[in-house]
Amino acid sequence: MTAPARPGPVVLIAFVAALSGRFTLDRIGFDVPLVNDVRVPLFLVLVLAVVLEAHHIGPRPVEGTQALLGILALLLYQMLSVLWVPPGTETGPVVGDLCAIAGLAVVYFNLAAWDRDWVTATTLKLFHATAWVYFLAAASGRGHHSNGRWAALGGGPNVFIRIMILGIITSLYLYLRSGERLIWLIPMPAFMFGAIASGSRGGIVALAITIVIALLAIRPRIDADRLVKPLALVAVVGAVLVILAGPMIADYVRQRFVEETIGQGYASSRDVLFQMAIRLFLQRPVLGSGVNGFHTVTDLGFGERYVHNLPLSIAAEGGFVGLALLAVAWLGLWHAYAALPLPQRSLEARTAAYCGIFIGAASLFSGDYYDARLMWILLLLAAVRPARRPVRARR
C-alpha cells in the first residue's frame, strides 16, 4: 500500500507567511513600491504553492468545515462594516489584514484536510525552532526596547512573549512525542526567562489562563509519579538560569512587575481603552462604528489605534452582530474539535488547541485583529481533520 500524499514545502511557506506579520522592507532600509509589504510576494508564492499541492494531492473529504465557515463569516462581516464607518476613517490597511487572515485560514484548512497531524506536527516544530531564534536574538541584546523589555526581529515585547510561550508548549509536545525524553524540557526555563524579560503582563496572565484550562482538562489523567523527574529537571535548569542571568533583569522585573503593576497600578492605558470601547458599543450597540472606527471616534492619536482586546474591539466596531459572529466562530471551532471523542484526539490536535487558547487569551490584553491570526490558525489545526473512512459492514 502506498503512503498517502502529504503537502510539501507549502507548509513552510504558510508558516513564514503567518509568522511574518506586517513586516515592511523599510525596517531594513529598503523602500520598494508594491512589494514593500513582504506579505504581497509571500502570499503570491503561497497561493501558487497551494494550487500546485492541490493538483498533486487531489480532493480529500474533510470534517470540521463549520469551523472555517464561522471564521470566514466573521471576517466578511468586518469587511462589510466599511459601509457604515465614520467619515474620514482609514479602512484600507485593516481590510487588507482581514483578507490576509481569511487567506491564511483557507490555506490551513486545506492543509489540515490533506494531513492534519503531520501538518500540525511540522508547524509545532517550526514554532519551537522560532522560539530558539527569538530567544537567542533577544539574549544577544538585539531588539531590546529602550526601557529594557526583551524583543527580537522587529516585533514588540507582546509578540516576543507569544513566541516564548509557544516555545514552552511545544517543548512539552516534543517531550511527550519523543517518549518522554527529558532533553526536550531543558529549553522551558530559558523560554520562561525570556517571557518574563519581555515585561508583558498580559502574556503572563494568558499563560496562567491556559494552564488552568489545561489542568481542568487533564486532571483525571494526571500521574504524579511521572511528574517527579520532569519537574525536578525544569527546577534545576531554571535555578541555574536565574543564578547566571537573573541579575541582568532583576531591577527591571522589580520595577515592571512589582512597583509599576502592584505599587502604582499601572495598566498601560488598557483600562482607559476598554472603557472607551464599552462606551462606543453602548452608543452603537447593533452594528458598531465599523472597522477601524474606534480609532476615528476616540481620536487618541497614532499610538492607540486599537483596543488591545479582541472581543471588545469587535463589540465597539461590529456591535452585537459582530459579537454574535465571534461567538459562532468560537462555537464552531469547539463543536468541530469536540466531535471527536477524547481518546481519539491526537497529541498534535490537543497541543494546537492549547496553543490557540493561549493566543486567544493573549488577545484579551494586546494586539489587533491581525495579531489574532495565529489563534484562528492553531484552532483550525485542532478542529479540522481528514474525514474518517467508513468501516465496511461484515457479511
List the domain boundaries for the chain: 1-58, 65-385
Give the separation between CA 90 and CA 209, rounded to whole angstroms. Answer: 35
Which of 17-26, 61-70, 376-385 comes out lowest in average pLDDT?
17-26
**Which of 50-59, 221-230, 312-321 comes out lowest in average pLDDT?**
221-230
Mean pLDDT of 69-86: 95
Choose the weakest-confidence range: 3-17, 220-234, 254-268.
Answer: 254-268
Return phi, psi of residue 24, to 5°: -115, 150
pTM for this prediction: 0.91
Q: How many CA atoms lie within 13 A of 376 on its CB side?
A: 29
Q: Is the pLDDT of residue 380 over 90?
A: yes
Among 129-138, 229-238, 321-330, 367-376, where is mean pLDDT lowest? 229-238
Phi, psi of 111 (to 5 degrees): -60, -40
The whole-chain average pLDDT of the chain stands at 85
How confident is the model at residue 216, as a pLDDT? Answer: 87
User: According to the model, what pLDDT value does residue 394 have?
Assistant: 43
Residue-level pLDDT at 102: 96
Q: Cβ of 265: how many Cβ atoms within 10 Å? A: 8
Per-residue pLDDT at 391 exceeds 50 = no
Q: How much is the pLDDT for 2?
A: 46
Selection from 10, 200, 24 nearest residue 119 by Cα: 10
User: Is 70 exceeded by the pLDDT of residue 302?
Assistant: no
Query: What is the spatial distance between Cα 253 and Cα 245, in angstroms, rounded to a whole number?
Result: 13
d(CA 69, CA 25): 34
Over range 215-223, report the average pLDDT.
76
pLDDT of 20 above 80: yes
Least confident of 14-18, 34-38, 322-326: 34-38
pLDDT value at position 358? Answer: 97
Share of the chain above pLDDT 70, in %: 86
Q: Is the pLDDT of residue 310 over 90?
A: yes
User: What tens digit of pLDDT does each residue of 102-154 get?
Assistant: 999 999 999 999 999 999 999 999 999 999 999 999 988 877 776 778 888 87
Rounded average pLDDT over 222-232: 72
User: In this model, does residue 280 exceed pLDDT 80?
Assistant: yes
Do 360 and 331 contact (CB within 8 A), yes or no?
no
Report the percentage of the chain scoring pLDDT > 90.
Answer: 48
Of residues 174 and 227, the one with the higher pLDDT is 174
Provide long-range contacts, Cβ within 8 A and 24+ apart, for 99-102.
100/39, 100/43, 100/370, 100/373, 101/75, 101/369, 101/370, 101/372, 101/373, 101/376, 102/71, 102/72, 102/75, 102/76
Task: Identify the pLDDT of residue 1.
Answer: 41
Predicted local confidence at residue 356, as pLDDT:
97
**Residue 89, C-alpha cell as written in the block:** 476613517
Decide if pLDDT at 304 tops 70. no
For residues 387 and 393, give the distance between their C-alpha atoms in angstroms, rounded to a whole number: 18
SS3 category, 38: coil
H/E segment holding residue 63: strand 62-63
Query: In the structure, what pLDDT confidence band is assigned to residue 58 with cuts at 50, 70 and 90?
Result: confident
Q: Which of 101-105, 157-161, 270-274 bottoms out in mean pLDDT, i.e. has the lowest?
A: 270-274
- Range with lowest mean pLDDT among 72-81, 121-130, 147-156, 372-381: 147-156
Distance of CA 12 to the CA centre of its chain: 17
Supply the pLDDT for residue 27: 56
SS3 210: helix
Across the range 249-260, mean pLDDT stands at 70
Task: Report the distance separating Cα 82 and Cα 324, nearest Å.
Answer: 18
